[in-house]
DNA sequence: AGGTTTCGTTAGAACCTATCACGCAACACC
DNA sequence: GGTGTTGCGTGATAGGTTCTAACGAAACCT
Protein backbone atom coordinates (compact mmCIF):
# COMPACT_ATOMS: atom_id res chain seq x y z
CA UNK A 1 0.00 0.00 0.00
CA UNK A 2 2.68 2.52 1.02
CA UNK A 3 5.64 3.48 -1.07
CA UNK A 4 8.87 2.69 0.73
CA UNK A 5 10.58 5.76 -0.67
CA UNK A 6 11.13 8.14 2.23
CA UNK A 7 14.13 9.79 0.62
CA UNK A 8 14.02 13.27 1.99
CA UNK A 9 11.89 14.31 4.99
CA UNK A 10 9.99 16.59 2.65
CA UNK A 11 8.96 13.80 0.30
CA UNK A 12 8.08 11.74 3.33
CA UNK A 13 5.76 14.44 4.63
CA UNK A 14 4.36 15.08 1.19
CA UNK A 15 3.49 11.44 0.63
CA UNK A 16 1.84 11.27 4.02
CA UNK A 17 -0.35 14.30 3.36
CA UNK A 18 -1.28 13.00 -0.09
CA UNK A 19 -2.32 9.72 1.48
CA UNK A 20 -4.40 11.52 4.09
CA UNK A 21 -6.14 13.55 1.41
CA UNK A 22 -6.96 10.41 -0.53
CA UNK A 23 -8.22 8.77 2.64
CA UNK A 24 -10.77 11.52 3.21
CA UNK A 25 -11.64 11.54 -0.48
CA UNK A 26 -12.41 7.81 -0.40
CA UNK A 27 -14.64 8.39 2.58
CA UNK A 28 -16.63 11.07 0.78
CA UNK A 29 -16.91 8.98 -2.37
CA UNK A 30 -18.06 5.92 -0.45
CA UNK A 31 -20.82 7.82 1.32
CA UNK A 32 -22.01 10.21 -1.38
CA UNK A 33 -20.46 9.20 -4.68
CA UNK A 34 -17.85 10.79 -6.89
CA UNK A 35 -19.89 13.87 -7.83
CA UNK A 36 -20.03 14.83 -4.15
CA UNK A 37 -16.26 14.75 -3.76
CA UNK A 38 -15.21 18.25 -2.75
CA UNK A 39 -11.64 19.43 -2.27
CA UNK A 40 -12.97 22.12 0.01
CA UNK A 41 -14.73 19.62 2.24
CA UNK A 42 -11.60 17.46 2.41
CA UNK A 43 -9.58 20.51 3.41
CA UNK A 44 -12.11 21.39 6.08
CA UNK A 45 -11.95 17.86 7.48
CA UNK A 46 -8.19 18.12 7.67
CA UNK A 47 -8.40 21.44 9.47
CA UNK A 48 -6.64 23.17 6.65
CA UNK A 49 -7.74 25.89 4.28
CA UNK A 50 -8.91 25.17 0.77
CA UNK A 51 -6.08 26.11 -1.57
CA UNK A 52 -3.56 24.20 0.56
CA UNK A 53 -4.52 20.97 -1.19
CA UNK A 54 -3.39 22.35 -4.52
CA UNK A 55 0.18 21.86 -3.33
CA UNK A 56 -0.47 18.12 -3.44
CA UNK A 57 -2.88 17.69 -6.34
CA UNK A 58 -3.13 19.84 -9.45
CA UNK A 59 -6.89 19.82 -9.06
CA UNK A 60 -9.96 17.76 -8.46
CA UNK A 61 -9.49 15.81 -11.67
CA UNK A 62 -5.96 14.73 -10.81
CA UNK A 63 -7.12 13.56 -7.39
CA UNK A 64 -9.87 11.48 -8.94
CA UNK A 65 -7.45 10.07 -11.49
CA UNK A 66 -5.17 9.08 -8.65
CA UNK A 67 -8.06 7.39 -6.87
CA UNK A 68 -8.90 5.48 -10.04
CA UNK A 69 -5.30 4.40 -10.29
CA UNK A 70 -5.37 3.19 -6.69
CA UNK A 71 -8.64 1.36 -7.30
CA UNK A 72 -7.13 -0.50 -10.25
CA UNK A 73 -4.04 -1.34 -8.25
CA UNK A 74 -6.12 -2.50 -5.30
CA UNK A 75 -8.09 -4.89 -7.47
CA UNK A 76 -4.94 -6.13 -9.19
CA UNK A 77 -3.35 -6.79 -5.78
CA UNK A 78 -6.45 -8.57 -4.54
CA UNK A 79 -6.46 -10.82 -7.59
CA UNK A 80 -2.75 -11.49 -7.43
CA UNK A 81 -2.86 -12.34 -3.73
CA UNK A 82 -5.88 -14.59 -4.23
CA UNK A 83 -4.13 -16.49 -7.00
CA UNK A 84 -0.94 -16.72 -4.95
CA UNK A 85 -3.01 -18.17 -2.10
CA UNK A 86 -4.05 -20.97 -4.39
CA UNK A 87 -7.41 -19.66 -5.52
CA UNK A 88 -8.93 -20.99 -8.73
CA UNK A 89 -11.37 -19.14 -10.95
CA UNK A 90 -14.13 -19.53 -8.40
CA UNK A 91 -11.82 -18.13 -5.74
CA UNK A 92 -11.06 -15.20 -7.99
CA UNK A 93 -14.78 -14.59 -8.47
CA UNK A 94 -15.31 -14.65 -4.73
CA UNK A 95 -12.40 -12.27 -4.21
CA UNK A 96 -13.86 -9.95 -6.84
CA UNK A 97 -17.26 -9.83 -5.19
CA UNK A 98 -15.77 -9.29 -1.74
CA UNK A 99 -13.60 -6.51 -3.05
CA UNK A 100 -16.55 -4.86 -4.77
CA UNK A 101 -18.88 -5.15 -1.78
CA UNK A 102 -16.24 -3.65 0.50
CA UNK A 103 -16.57 -0.37 -1.40
CA UNK A 104 -19.10 -0.36 -4.26
CA UNK A 105 -18.17 3.13 -5.39
CA UNK A 106 -14.58 1.99 -5.80
CA UNK A 107 -15.81 -0.73 -8.16
CA UNK A 108 -17.87 1.77 -10.12
CA UNK A 109 -14.85 4.04 -10.31
CA UNK A 110 -13.36 1.40 -12.61
CA UNK A 111 -16.33 -0.29 -14.24
CA UNK A 112 -19.12 2.23 -13.76
CA UNK A 113 -20.49 5.10 -15.82
CA UNK A 114 -17.72 6.64 -17.91
CA UNK A 115 -17.22 10.36 -18.33
CA UNK A 116 -17.50 11.07 -22.08
CA UNK A 117 -14.43 13.26 -22.38
CA UNK A 118 -12.20 11.41 -19.94
CA UNK A 119 -9.29 9.26 -21.11
CA UNK A 120 -7.60 7.04 -18.57
CA UNK A 121 -3.83 7.47 -18.25
CA UNK A 122 -1.53 4.87 -19.71
CA UNK A 123 -0.60 3.08 -16.52
CA UNK A 124 -4.19 2.28 -15.56
CA UNK A 125 -4.58 0.31 -18.77
CA UNK A 126 -1.36 -1.45 -17.86
CA UNK A 127 -2.72 -2.40 -14.44
CA UNK A 128 -5.94 -3.45 -16.13
CA UNK A 129 -3.90 -5.82 -18.26
CA UNK A 130 -2.38 -7.30 -15.12
CA UNK A 131 -5.86 -7.99 -13.81
CA UNK A 132 -6.80 -9.74 -17.03
CA UNK A 133 -3.52 -11.62 -16.96
CA UNK A 134 -4.30 -12.99 -13.51
CA UNK A 135 -7.73 -14.02 -14.70
CA UNK A 136 -6.13 -15.67 -17.73
CA UNK A 137 -3.79 -17.61 -15.48
CA UNK A 138 -6.70 -19.05 -13.58
CA UNK A 139 -8.68 -19.77 -16.75
CA UNK A 140 -5.73 -21.45 -18.43
CA UNK A 141 -5.38 -23.70 -15.39
CA UNK A 142 -9.06 -24.55 -15.50
CA UNK A 143 -9.27 -25.04 -19.25
CA UNK A 144 -5.92 -26.44 -20.34
CA UNK A 145 -7.27 -26.95 -23.81
CA UNK A 146 -10.52 -26.81 -25.68
CA UNK A 147 -12.15 -26.31 -29.03
CA UNK A 148 -11.71 -22.91 -30.64
CA UNK A 149 -15.04 -21.15 -30.59
CA UNK A 150 -16.09 -18.67 -33.27
CA UNK A 151 -15.45 -15.83 -30.85
CA UNK A 152 -12.22 -17.54 -29.86
CA UNK A 153 -10.99 -17.02 -33.40
CA UNK A 154 -11.61 -13.30 -33.14
CA UNK A 155 -9.87 -13.20 -29.77
CA UNK A 156 -6.96 -15.08 -31.31
CA UNK A 157 -6.60 -12.37 -33.94
CA UNK A 158 -6.72 -9.57 -31.38
CA UNK A 159 -4.92 -10.98 -28.40
CA UNK A 160 -2.90 -7.83 -27.78
CA UNK A 161 -4.83 -7.29 -24.56
CA UNK A 162 -3.49 -10.63 -23.31
CA UNK A 163 -0.03 -9.10 -23.67
CA UNK A 164 1.76 -12.21 -24.71
CA UNK A 165 -0.03 -14.47 -22.30
CA UNK A 166 0.35 -18.04 -23.58
CA UNK A 167 -3.26 -19.02 -22.97
CA UNK A 168 -5.15 -20.98 -25.63
CA UNK A 169 -8.04 -19.29 -27.36
CA UNK A 170 -10.53 -21.28 -25.27
CA UNK A 171 -9.04 -19.76 -22.13
CA UNK A 172 -9.24 -16.30 -23.68
CA UNK A 173 -12.90 -16.86 -24.42
CA UNK A 174 -13.57 -18.13 -20.94
CA UNK A 175 -11.75 -15.27 -19.25
CA UNK A 176 -13.82 -12.82 -21.24
CA UNK A 177 -16.99 -14.67 -20.30
CA UNK A 178 -16.07 -14.54 -16.64
CA UNK A 179 -15.39 -10.88 -16.84
CA UNK A 180 -18.53 -9.83 -18.68
CA UNK A 181 -20.95 -12.12 -16.85
CA UNK A 182 -19.65 -11.53 -13.35
CA UNK A 183 -19.63 -7.83 -14.07
CA UNK A 184 -23.21 -8.15 -15.24
CA UNK A 185 -24.56 -9.63 -12.03
CA UNK A 186 -22.18 -7.78 -9.74
CA UNK A 187 -22.81 -4.31 -11.11
CA UNK A 188 -26.57 -4.82 -10.96
CA UNK A 189 -26.23 -6.04 -7.38
CA UNK A 190 -24.09 -3.08 -6.36
CA UNK A 191 -26.54 -0.70 -7.98
CA UNK A 192 -29.31 -2.21 -5.87
CA UNK A 193 -31.41 -3.47 -8.75
CA UNK A 194 -31.79 -6.96 -7.31
CA UNK A 195 -32.63 -5.73 -3.83
CA UNK A 196 -35.37 -3.59 -5.35
CA UNK A 197 -36.85 -6.77 -6.83
CA UNK A 198 -36.68 -8.79 -3.65
CA UNK A 199 -33.99 -11.11 -5.03
CA UNK A 200 -30.93 -12.43 -3.24
CA UNK A 201 -27.83 -11.10 -5.02
CA UNK A 202 -25.57 -13.75 -3.51
CA UNK A 203 -27.68 -16.49 -5.04
CA UNK A 204 -27.68 -14.87 -8.46
CA UNK A 205 -23.93 -14.43 -8.34
CA UNK A 206 -23.41 -18.03 -7.21
CA UNK A 207 -25.72 -19.32 -9.93
CA UNK A 208 -23.91 -17.38 -12.63
CA UNK A 209 -20.55 -18.55 -11.36
CA UNK A 210 -21.78 -22.12 -11.23
CA UNK A 211 -23.04 -21.90 -14.79
CA UNK A 212 -19.66 -20.57 -15.88
CA UNK A 213 -17.83 -23.41 -14.15
CA UNK A 214 -20.04 -26.34 -15.08
CA UNK A 215 -20.93 -25.39 -18.64
CA UNK A 216 -17.66 -23.96 -19.78
CA UNK A 217 -17.38 -23.25 -23.48
CA UNK B 1 -43.41 11.40 -26.88
CA UNK B 2 -45.65 14.43 -26.33
CA UNK B 3 -48.49 14.52 -23.87
CA UNK B 4 -51.80 15.30 -25.60
CA UNK B 5 -53.06 17.30 -22.66
CA UNK B 6 -53.16 20.94 -23.75
CA UNK B 7 -55.96 21.92 -21.42
CA UNK B 8 -55.22 25.52 -20.68
CA UNK B 9 -52.82 27.65 -22.73
CA UNK B 10 -50.70 28.01 -19.63
CA UNK B 11 -50.23 24.29 -19.15
CA UNK B 12 -49.55 24.00 -22.84
CA UNK B 13 -46.77 26.57 -22.64
CA UNK B 14 -45.46 25.11 -19.42
CA UNK B 15 -45.21 21.61 -20.86
CA UNK B 16 -43.45 22.96 -23.92
CA UNK B 17 -40.86 24.83 -21.88
CA UNK B 18 -40.28 21.80 -19.65
CA UNK B 19 -39.72 19.70 -22.75
CA UNK B 20 -37.28 22.23 -24.14
CA UNK B 21 -35.35 22.29 -20.88
CA UNK B 22 -35.12 18.52 -20.90
CA UNK B 23 -34.00 18.60 -24.52
CA UNK B 24 -31.02 20.79 -23.70
CA UNK B 25 -30.32 18.75 -20.58
CA UNK B 26 -30.14 15.55 -22.64
CA UNK B 27 -27.72 17.24 -24.97
CA UNK B 28 -25.42 18.24 -22.15
CA UNK B 29 -25.58 14.80 -20.56
CA UNK B 30 -24.86 13.05 -23.84
CA UNK B 31 -21.77 15.15 -24.48
CA UNK B 32 -20.33 15.55 -21.01
CA UNK B 33 -22.16 13.24 -18.64
CA UNK B 34 -24.57 13.82 -15.81
CA UNK B 35 -22.11 15.60 -13.49
CA UNK B 36 -21.66 18.29 -16.15
CA UNK B 37 -25.38 19.02 -16.34
CA UNK B 38 -25.80 22.66 -15.33
CA UNK B 39 -29.11 24.44 -14.95
CA UNK B 40 -27.30 27.68 -15.58
CA UNK B 41 -25.89 26.45 -18.86
CA UNK B 42 -29.31 25.23 -19.96
CA UNK B 43 -30.78 28.61 -19.15
CA UNK B 44 -28.03 30.34 -21.09
CA UNK B 45 -28.70 28.12 -24.11
CA UNK B 46 -32.36 29.04 -23.94
CA UNK B 47 -31.55 32.74 -23.78
CA UNK B 48 -33.11 33.01 -20.38
CA UNK B 49 -31.65 33.86 -17.01
CA UNK B 50 -30.79 31.21 -14.45
CA UNK B 51 -33.51 31.20 -11.82
CA UNK B 52 -36.23 31.16 -14.48
CA UNK B 53 -35.89 27.40 -14.73
CA UNK B 54 -36.94 26.98 -11.12
CA UNK B 55 -40.48 27.78 -12.21
CA UNK B 56 -40.42 24.48 -14.09
CA UNK B 57 -38.25 22.22 -11.97
CA UNK B 58 -37.80 22.35 -8.22
CA UNK B 59 -34.09 21.96 -8.74
CA UNK B 60 -31.34 20.07 -10.45
CA UNK B 61 -32.24 16.82 -8.71
CA UNK B 62 -35.85 16.91 -9.86
CA UNK B 63 -34.75 17.55 -13.43
CA UNK B 64 -32.42 14.56 -13.31
CA UNK B 65 -35.13 12.42 -11.77
CA UNK B 66 -37.43 13.42 -14.61
CA UNK B 67 -34.75 12.48 -17.13
CA UNK B 68 -34.34 9.11 -15.45
CA UNK B 69 -38.09 8.62 -15.66
CA UNK B 70 -38.04 9.47 -19.36
CA UNK B 71 -35.13 7.12 -19.94
CA UNK B 72 -37.02 4.25 -18.33
CA UNK B 73 -40.11 5.08 -20.34
CA UNK B 74 -38.13 5.30 -23.55
CA UNK B 75 -36.63 1.86 -23.02
CA UNK B 76 -40.00 0.42 -22.06
CA UNK B 77 -41.53 1.87 -25.23
CA UNK B 78 -38.69 0.55 -27.35
CA UNK B 79 -39.15 -2.93 -25.93
CA UNK B 80 -42.93 -2.83 -26.25
CA UNK B 81 -42.78 -1.64 -29.86
CA UNK B 82 -40.17 -4.26 -30.74
CA UNK B 83 -42.30 -7.02 -29.28
CA UNK B 84 -45.39 -5.68 -31.02
CA UNK B 85 -43.46 -5.73 -34.29
CA UNK B 86 -42.95 -9.44 -33.84
CA UNK B 87 -39.49 -9.44 -32.31
CA UNK B 88 -38.33 -12.45 -30.34
CA UNK B 89 -35.73 -12.43 -27.59
CA UNK B 90 -32.96 -11.85 -30.10
CA UNK B 91 -34.92 -8.94 -31.52
CA UNK B 92 -35.30 -7.50 -28.05
CA UNK B 93 -31.57 -7.84 -27.49
CA UNK B 94 -30.90 -6.04 -30.75
CA UNK B 95 -33.37 -3.31 -29.81
CA UNK B 96 -31.69 -2.94 -26.45
CA UNK B 97 -28.24 -2.52 -27.93
CA UNK B 98 -29.49 -0.04 -30.52
CA UNK B 99 -31.26 1.96 -27.87
CA UNK B 100 -28.16 1.99 -25.67
CA UNK B 101 -25.78 2.94 -28.48
CA UNK B 102 -28.07 5.79 -29.53
CA UNK B 103 -27.31 7.51 -26.22
CA UNK B 104 -24.94 5.65 -23.90
CA UNK B 105 -25.36 8.14 -21.09
CA UNK B 106 -29.09 7.53 -21.16
CA UNK B 107 -28.40 3.82 -20.62
CA UNK B 108 -26.08 4.59 -17.73
CA UNK B 109 -28.72 6.86 -16.24
CA UNK B 110 -30.67 3.67 -15.60
CA UNK B 111 -28.07 0.95 -15.22
CA UNK B 112 -24.93 2.92 -14.42
CA UNK B 113 -23.23 4.04 -11.25
CA UNK B 114 -25.81 4.68 -8.54
CA UNK B 115 -25.75 7.67 -6.23
CA UNK B 116 -25.51 6.27 -2.67
CA UNK B 117 -28.23 8.40 -1.13
CA UNK B 118 -30.61 8.44 -4.08
CA UNK B 119 -33.84 6.47 -4.08
CA UNK B 120 -35.75 6.18 -7.32
CA UNK B 121 -39.39 7.30 -7.20
CA UNK B 122 -42.12 4.70 -7.20
CA UNK B 123 -43.19 5.01 -10.81
CA UNK B 124 -39.73 4.29 -12.21
CA UNK B 125 -39.79 0.90 -10.52
CA UNK B 126 -43.19 0.38 -12.09
CA UNK B 127 -41.85 1.16 -15.55
CA UNK B 128 -38.91 -1.09 -14.79
CA UNK B 129 -41.38 -3.88 -14.13
CA UNK B 130 -42.97 -3.24 -17.51
CA UNK B 131 -39.58 -3.69 -19.13
CA UNK B 132 -39.07 -6.96 -17.33
CA UNK B 133 -42.60 -8.03 -18.23
CA UNK B 134 -41.88 -7.50 -21.91
CA UNK B 135 -38.70 -9.52 -21.59
CA UNK B 136 -40.66 -12.21 -19.78
CA UNK B 137 -43.17 -12.32 -22.60
CA UNK B 138 -40.44 -13.00 -25.09
CA UNK B 139 -38.75 -15.55 -22.86
CA UNK B 140 -41.99 -17.39 -22.18
CA UNK B 141 -42.58 -17.64 -25.92
CA UNK B 142 -39.07 -18.97 -26.43
CA UNK B 143 -39.10 -21.37 -23.51
CA UNK B 144 -42.67 -22.59 -23.15
CA UNK B 145 -41.55 -25.02 -20.50
CA UNK B 146 -38.40 -26.39 -19.01
CA UNK B 147 -36.83 -27.93 -15.93
CA UNK B 148 -36.84 -25.85 -12.78
CA UNK B 149 -33.28 -24.86 -12.06
CA UNK B 150 -31.98 -24.34 -8.51
CA UNK B 151 -32.07 -20.60 -9.08
CA UNK B 152 -35.49 -21.02 -10.66
CA UNK B 153 -36.77 -22.23 -7.30
CA UNK B 154 -35.57 -19.06 -5.64
CA UNK B 155 -37.12 -16.96 -8.38
CA UNK B 156 -40.35 -18.88 -7.93
CA UNK B 157 -40.43 -17.89 -4.26
CA UNK B 158 -39.75 -14.24 -5.00
CA UNK B 159 -41.62 -13.61 -8.19
CA UNK B 160 -43.10 -10.32 -7.01
CA UNK B 161 -40.96 -8.50 -9.58
CA UNK B 162 -42.76 -10.47 -12.30
CA UNK B 163 -45.93 -8.83 -11.03
CA UNK B 164 -48.25 -11.72 -11.68
CA UNK B 165 -46.71 -12.65 -15.00
CA UNK B 166 -47.71 -16.25 -15.73
CA UNK B 167 -44.25 -17.31 -16.92
CA UNK B 168 -42.80 -20.63 -15.78
CA UNK B 169 -39.78 -20.54 -13.54
CA UNK B 170 -37.51 -21.51 -16.42
CA UNK B 171 -38.60 -18.38 -18.25
CA UNK B 172 -37.96 -16.29 -15.16
CA UNK B 173 -34.46 -17.70 -14.98
CA UNK B 174 -33.84 -17.10 -18.63
CA UNK B 175 -35.12 -13.53 -18.52
CA UNK B 176 -32.79 -12.82 -15.63
CA UNK B 177 -29.90 -14.37 -17.52
CA UNK B 178 -30.64 -12.24 -20.54
CA UNK B 179 -30.76 -9.14 -18.43
CA UNK B 180 -27.57 -9.70 -16.47
CA UNK B 181 -25.46 -11.06 -19.33
CA UNK B 182 -26.49 -8.54 -21.96
CA UNK B 183 -25.99 -5.80 -19.41
CA UNK B 184 -22.55 -7.23 -18.72
CA UNK B 185 -21.31 -7.02 -22.30
CA UNK B 186 -23.27 -3.90 -23.19
CA UNK B 187 -22.18 -1.78 -20.24
CA UNK B 188 -18.53 -2.73 -20.80
CA UNK B 189 -18.91 -1.85 -24.47
CA UNK B 190 -20.52 1.50 -23.72
CA UNK B 191 -17.80 2.29 -21.22
CA UNK B 192 -15.22 1.68 -23.93
CA UNK B 193 -13.45 -1.19 -22.20
CA UNK B 194 -13.56 -3.42 -25.26
CA UNK B 195 -12.39 -0.71 -27.62
CA UNK B 196 -9.42 -0.13 -25.33
CA UNK B 197 -8.52 -3.79 -25.79
CA UNK B 198 -8.86 -3.81 -29.55
CA UNK B 199 -11.92 -6.08 -29.46
CA UNK B 200 -15.07 -5.79 -31.55
CA UNK B 201 -18.00 -5.11 -29.20
CA UNK B 202 -20.59 -6.22 -31.76
CA UNK B 203 -18.97 -9.65 -31.98
CA UNK B 204 -18.88 -10.05 -28.21
CA UNK B 205 -22.51 -9.04 -27.92
CA UNK B 206 -23.52 -11.40 -30.71
CA UNK B 207 -21.57 -14.25 -29.18
CA UNK B 208 -23.16 -13.75 -25.78
CA UNK B 209 -26.61 -13.55 -27.33
CA UNK B 210 -25.94 -16.68 -29.35
CA UNK B 211 -24.82 -18.52 -26.26
CA UNK B 212 -27.99 -17.46 -24.49
CA UNK B 213 -30.16 -18.67 -27.36
CA UNK B 214 -28.48 -21.95 -28.20
CA UNK B 215 -27.62 -23.16 -24.70
CA UNK B 216 -30.71 -22.05 -22.85
CA UNK B 217 -31.04 -23.42 -19.33
C1' DA C 1 -61.61 45.91 -18.38
C1' DG C 2 -60.12 44.37 -13.63
C1' DG C 3 -58.14 41.06 -10.62
C1' DT C 4 -55.41 37.21 -10.12
C1' DT C 5 -52.10 34.13 -11.36
C1' DT C 6 -47.79 33.12 -13.30
C1' DC C 7 -43.63 34.26 -15.34
C1' DG C 8 -38.85 36.26 -15.80
C1' DT C 9 -35.96 39.39 -13.88
C1' DT C 10 -32.20 41.10 -10.65
C1' DA C 11 -29.97 40.67 -6.14
C1' DG C 12 -27.92 37.86 -2.98
C1' DA C 13 -26.33 33.89 0.07
C1' DA C 14 -23.66 29.79 0.25
C1' DC C 15 -21.23 26.67 -1.88
C1' DC C 16 -17.54 25.03 -5.32
C1' DT C 17 -12.80 25.02 -8.18
C1' DA C 18 -8.71 27.28 -9.04
C1' DT C 19 -5.00 31.09 -9.06
C1' DC C 20 -2.21 34.46 -7.00
C1' DA C 21 0.95 36.88 -3.83
C1' DC C 22 2.61 36.91 0.57
C1' DG C 23 4.81 35.41 5.08
C1' DC C 24 6.73 31.89 7.50
C1' DA C 25 8.67 27.58 8.73
C1' DA C 26 11.61 23.85 7.54
C1' DC C 27 15.17 21.95 5.19
C1' DA C 28 20.18 21.96 3.08
C1' DC C 29 24.44 23.55 2.71
C1' DC C 30 28.55 25.59 4.26
C1' DG D 1 25.29 26.85 13.99
C1' DG D 2 24.16 30.53 10.91
C1' DT D 3 22.39 31.49 6.24
C1' DG D 4 20.08 30.86 1.89
C1' DT D 5 16.74 28.39 -0.64
C1' DT D 6 12.89 25.73 -1.02
C1' DG D 7 8.31 24.48 -0.05
C1' DC D 8 4.07 25.07 2.62
C1' DG D 9 -0.23 27.38 4.34
C1' DT D 10 -2.65 31.54 4.30
C1' DG D 11 -6.05 35.14 2.78
C1' DA D 12 -7.75 37.54 -1.22
C1' DT D 13 -9.81 37.09 -5.54
C1' DA D 14 -12.18 35.58 -9.86
C1' DG D 15 -15.63 32.87 -11.87
C1' DG D 16 -18.51 28.95 -11.60
C1' DT D 17 -22.55 26.51 -9.51
C1' DT D 18 -27.42 25.84 -6.99
C1' DC D 19 -31.10 27.94 -5.00
C1' DT D 20 -34.10 31.68 -2.44
C1' DA D 21 -36.35 36.06 -2.25
C1' DA D 22 -38.59 40.21 -3.81
C1' DC D 23 -40.20 42.81 -7.55
C1' DG D 24 -42.26 44.24 -12.12
C1' DA D 25 -44.56 42.81 -16.04
C1' DA D 26 -47.13 39.97 -18.92
C1' DA D 27 -50.78 36.81 -19.74
C1' DC D 28 -54.84 34.60 -18.47
C1' DC D 29 -59.66 34.17 -16.48
C1' DT D 30 -63.86 36.09 -15.29
| A118 Cβ nearer than 7 Å to chain C strand | no
Q: How far is the CA of A14 from the C1' of C19 (A)?
A: 21
Tell me, what's the pLDDT at B8? 84
pLDDT range class, residue A6, cuts 50, 70, 90: low
pLDDT range class, residue B18, cuts 50, 70, 90: very high
Q: Report how many helices (DSSP H) and strands (DSSP E) chain B contains, helices first.
A: 9, 0
Whether A104 shows a pLDDT value over 90: the answer reads yes
Tell me, what's the pLDDT at B92? 98
Chain B residues 147 to 166 whose Cβ lies within 7 Å of strand D are: none
Tell me, what's the pLDDT at B95? 98
Chain A residues closer than 8 Å to B155 by CB: 199
> Which residue of chain A is at minimal alpha-carbon distance from B195?
A161
Based on the number of CB atoms within 10 Å of its own CB, is A8 exposed (0-12), middle (13-18) or buried (19 or more)? exposed
B50-108: per-residue pLDDT in tens?
Answer: 999 999 999 999 999 999 999 999 999 999 999 999 999 999 999 999 999 999 999 99
Secondary structure (DSSP) of A117-175: T----HHHHHHHHHHHHHHHHHHHHH-SS-PPPHHHHHHHHT-GGGTT----HHHHHHH
- A60-214: which CATH number, 3.40.640.10, 1.10.3720.10, 1.10.357.10, 3.40.50.1370? 1.10.357.10
Mean pLDDT of A185-213: 97
Tell me, what's the pLDDT at B148? 86
d(CA B211, CA B217): 11
| A39 Cβ nearer than 7 Å to chain C strand | yes
Tell me, what's the pLDDT at B5? 58
B200 to A154: CB separation less than 8 angstroms, yes or no: yes
pLDDT range class, residue B162, cuts 50, 70, 90: confident
d(CA B159, CA B127): 17
A33 to B190: CB separation less than 8 angstroms, yes or no: no
Mean pLDDT of A58-71: 98
Give the CATH architecture of domain A1-57. Orthogonal Bundle (1.10)
List chain B domain ranges.
1-57, 60-214
Are B30 and B105 spatial neighbours (Cβ–Cβ below 8 Å)? yes
**Protein-covered nucleotides on strand D (Cβ within 7 A):** 7-12, 16-22, 27-29
Mean pLDDT of A163-169: 89
Tell me, what's the pLDDT at B3? 44
Rounded to the nearest angstrom, the minimum Cα separation between A199 and chain B is: 7
Q: Nearest nucleotide, C1' to the C-alpha of A41?
A: C16
The percentage of residues in chain A with a pLDDT greater than 90, rounded to a whole number, is 85
pLDDT range class, residue B7, cuts 50, 70, 90: confident
What does the radius of gyration of chain B's CA atoms come to, in whole angstroms? 20
The secondary structure of B115-171, three-state, reads: CCCCCCCHHHHHHHHHHHHHHHHHHHHHCCCCCCCHHHHHHHHCCHHHCCCCCCHHH
Mean pLDDT of A2-9: 62
Phi and psi (nearest 5°) for B64?
Answer: -65, -45
Cα dihedral B129, B130, B131, B136, rounded to 10, equals 90
- The Cβ of residue B17 has, within 10 Å, a number of other Cβ atoms equal to 16
Whether A3 shows a pLDDT value over 50: the answer reads no
Q: How far is the CA of A14 from the C1' of D2 (A)?
A: 27
Whether B1 shows a pLDDT value over 80: the answer reads no
Chain B residues closer than 8 Å to A196 by CB: 120, 125, 128
Tell me, what's the pLDDT at B217? 60
Whether A98 shows a pLDDT value over 70: the answer reads yes
Q: Which of A116, A113, A81, A86 is nearest to A99 (CA)?
A: A81
Amino acid sequence: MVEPDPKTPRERYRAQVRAEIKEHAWEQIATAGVPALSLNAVAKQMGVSGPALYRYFAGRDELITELIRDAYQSLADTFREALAAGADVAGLAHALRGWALADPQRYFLIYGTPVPGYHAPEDTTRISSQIMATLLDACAALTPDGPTTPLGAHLEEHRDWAEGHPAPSAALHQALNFWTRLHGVLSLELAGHFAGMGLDPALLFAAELDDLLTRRV
